[in-house]
Structure 1
């Protein structure tokens, strides 16, 4: 009861601040900090995704624009963003004013630029908020997520990446054709920059809604923990790492990183970072990815590198968290689908023995699924936003 009371008091505080910002809007929107503002956001505590890459591009190619990035001063990414330009502290009154006044609001998550994405999405603030709303997406949409339908959200630009995704957004999500644009993910520009690979395997599972806020004890009793703990502690994995001279990095999803201390390093070749590293660097430098359902497998496959799906709980995942979409792992996936730890290790052994080559079956699927690689995703997205503003007379 107390928890619910505090939550509702918090919501009331968000709304009061927002109402005050709306009242000040006619006076503030012409002041230099807010006039013509482009507001960029991810989760408010990070800068590694598409919004950061677009912000970086805008600051370098169009420094004359008024642009600000929403990020907590305590974030490990804060200094990197501050070097590029203006930052805004989430939850500050400057945030509320920017939220209301910005000509363009850009985020990797729906209403990620708002003081509380859940509340302001529920209240459909996107329909009454001035300015253009740009949804860059966090990854390629492949599950069926009804909360992203045109009936639930309103955006002026919905960025997608591949033909199947584009078709789904038009036909099943019912977004207008003028809104959905296959511009690709901004972070993909960096994937093809010069980089070196390590003899490294990356294990990167996605989050679980039903575990996100549980206790450490409940988490350690879950099939999620038990499955990955068993994999990391398996003697065959240790033997393969030693035999083929590989290291392994285990990285939890940001929504699950507070559970990192539950996992212990079981071998000197296995690394479990306590601080969130640069995810894209991990993907670029690793030779093979083991994941469950995380959309980072698209980034990895775009580079035509091998991966293994470890889907020990697919029935629960696709009933409790997401509904299956157009992408079928068995038919469309870019690597073997494994249900048990032994299957994962057998698949890993095959890849290691084959010098980490991508089999022709999966290479063909990658070539069919993705458009030809490019490095102008940021440039095309920037142009699309400029066109939006031109159409509205900005």
Structure 2
């Protein structure tokens, strides 16, 4: 896969025009030329060559809605007023996983609710999700995806903001509002991007993407990378959830958890979803099972000052027989609990490739990497390609491929010998530039600066005059919150 400077036109990855005209258009036309069309006009390149819908040519319809009244508060198409009676200026829909919250979107919602009274905030979550009741008790305005209320909100939404970039989330479940959308999509990310995800992200409608480390940021916006995203879309603000994590870490008096957090394997999980095979019979889990049953882990369990916790990936957890590990004295955690509290209590992390350890790195917590299948993992079977992150050079602890070596490291750690973690701990503290507790503030300021629409007129596509949205900054964050300003100097052409 070739790499070109991002200022040049990009051909399609295969070297020929794609059968999907929009994909071809996105790869062929420079980003400076791909400007958003005004509200009411057809906004996809493919649609430019189709007739405008009439009574005889109906618009694309949305997915059939679920039962009505799938929200926790009254829903109105028009922006109303906040509890103080002041009018809203913007509407944002935020979401993490459709079935769970407790990620960057939830933390950003909570901060914005306190500091941005002119934004009408809604959180999208499945009605039967375990977090629904918890967020409802916290006063979140909740709405179920695909519901009538959800579609109503999309008609007057300025931004859809999520920690995940799966296609249903970005397209809002192929609703008709995606075809003629006025809202922008903000990708908060779920974890720091350390591997090359360009195959997954390229071609998706991402108007703004949040990054949390300098190397991660440069690996995406750099000229000679595979990503289509540029500095116009990608911002280095830090993850919103890290604000609370840092506060918890500073308040925690002791770290007593040895955390095992392996990531998933596509070649293992996809057959399991189809009812084929078992997790326990896979080489992937047999390697991890061997570590969890090892003598070194038994010594940690029997110690009086450390606890062993297993945190399986959400895609692995449904297929894991947890009872046998509980019988061994290992606590099996889930992502439905307060993960940040768990991380703040962690003394050492053990993983293979999980980006979760970057959250540990924010706290300066070292990690040991167990990469028994490294060549296979980066051979193309998984969704990742090897990225800028070199585990030996950039990792937060020793990189090991044999289970006996992991056992040795754990035994040394239990004995108070941590020589192997000195360099990793130092790199962990250097990985992210932001530890000031202002990631939410920076993220909101970036959204308002880059994505707030103000229509202007501009020459584009030859002699044709088209309306172009210009991202201006009508508001500015201060110590007191949001303050109105008139800052036309900060305006910049907004591109698709």
Flag the 1:128–1:382 CA change in 2: closer, same or farther, 3 A. Answer: same
Flag the 1:262–1:249 CA change in 2: closer, same or farther, 3 A. Answer: closer
Find the counterpart in structure 2 of residue 281 from structure 1. 341
Superposed CA offset, 1:193-219 (max 9, x none): 123444221111112222224148432
* Structure 1 unpaired stretches of 5+: 1-14, 21-27
Superposed CA offset, 1:329-369 (max 9, x none): 12211111121221111111222222668833223323443
- Contact 1:351–1:357 (8 Å) recurs in 2: no
- Contact 2:322–2:332 (8 Å) recurs in 1: no
Structure with greater Cα Rg = 2
Count of residue correspondences: 369
* Structure 2 unpaired stretches of 5+: 1-59, 66-75, 82-87, 456-473, 475-496
Q: Does 1:346 align with 2:408?
A: yes
Report matched runs for 1:187-266 at 5 Å.
187-193=241-247, 194-213=251-270, 214=272, 215=275, 217-243=277-303, 245-261=305-321, 264-265=324-325
Find the counterpart in structure 2 of residue 134 from structure 1. 186
Find the counterpart in structure 1 of residue 35 from structure 2. none
- Contact 1:333–1:362 (8 Å) recurs in 2: yes
Residue 379 of structure 1, CA deviation: 0.8
Q: If the length of structure 1 is used for normalisation, what is the TM-score?
A: 0.84
CA distance in 1, matches of 2:419, 2:305: 17
Find the counterpart in structure 1 of residue 198 from structure 2. 146
SS at 1:264 equivalent: helix
Find the counterpart in structure 1 of residue 25 from structure 2. none
Find the counterpart in structure 2 of residue 49 from structure 1. 103
CA distance in 1, matches of 2:276, 2:158: 43
Residue 134 of structure 1, CA deviation: 0.8
Find the counterpart in structure 1 of residue 217 from structure 2. 166
Q: Does 1:104 align with 2:155?
A: no
Residue 18 of structure 1, CA deviation: 4.9
Residue 167 of structure 1, CA deviation: 1.3
Superposed CA offset, 1:176-198 (max 9, x none): 32221100111110122123444
Report matched runs for 1:71-86 at 5 Å.
71-82=125-136, 83-86=138-141
Q: Does 1:59 align with 2:113?
A: yes
Flag the 1:112–1:288 CA change in 2: closer, same or farther, 3 A. Answer: farther
Residue 111 of structure 1, CA deviation: 5.1
Q: If the length of structure 2 is used for normalisation, what is the TM-score?
A: 0.68
Find the counterpart in structure 1 of residue 149 from structure 2. 94
CA distance in 2, matches of 1:106, 1:375: 20
CA distance in 2, matches of 1:333, 1:127: 42
CA distance in 2, matches of 1:384, 1:115: 19
* Larger deviation, residues 91-100 vs 48-57: 91-100
- Contact 2:238–2:434 (8 Å) recurs in 1: no
* Larger deviation, residues 32-41 vs 82-91: 32-41
CA distance in 2, matches of 1:212, 1:190: 32
Cα RMSD, aligned residues only? 3.0
Q: Does 1:30 align with 2:78?
A: yes
* Larger deviation, residues 322-331 vs 332-341: 332-341
CA distance in 2, matches of 1:291, 1:104: 35
Residue 390 of structure 1, CA deviation: 3.9
CA distance in 1, matches of 2:197, 2:240: 22
Q: Does 1:178 align with 2:226?
A: no
Flag the 1:85–1:266 CA change in 2: closer, same or farther, 3 A. Answer: closer
CA distance in 2, matches of 1:269, 1:209: 29
CA distance in 2, matches of 1:363, 1:287: 11
- Contact 1:42–1:112 (8 Å) recurs in 2: no
- Contact 2:212–2:238 (8 Å) recurs in 1: yes
CA distance in 2, matches of 1:134, 1:67: 14
Superposed CA offset, 1:250-308 (max 9, x none): 11111221023266126553112478322222111111111111101111012111211
CA distance in 1, matches of 2:148, 2:117: 25
* Larger deviation, residues 257-266 vs 344-353: 257-266
Structure with the higher fraction of residues in strand conformation: 2
CA distance in 2, matches of 1:207, 1:328: 20
Find the counterpart in structure 2 of residue 293 from structure 1. 353
Find the counterpart in structure 2 of residue 24 from structure 1. none
Residue 74 of structure 1, CA deviation: 2.1
CA distance in 1, matches of 2:356, 2:170: 27
Structure with the higher fraction of residues in helix conformation: 1
Flag the 1:233–1:116 CA change in 2: closer, same or farther, 3 A. Answer: farther
SS at 1:134 equivalent: strand
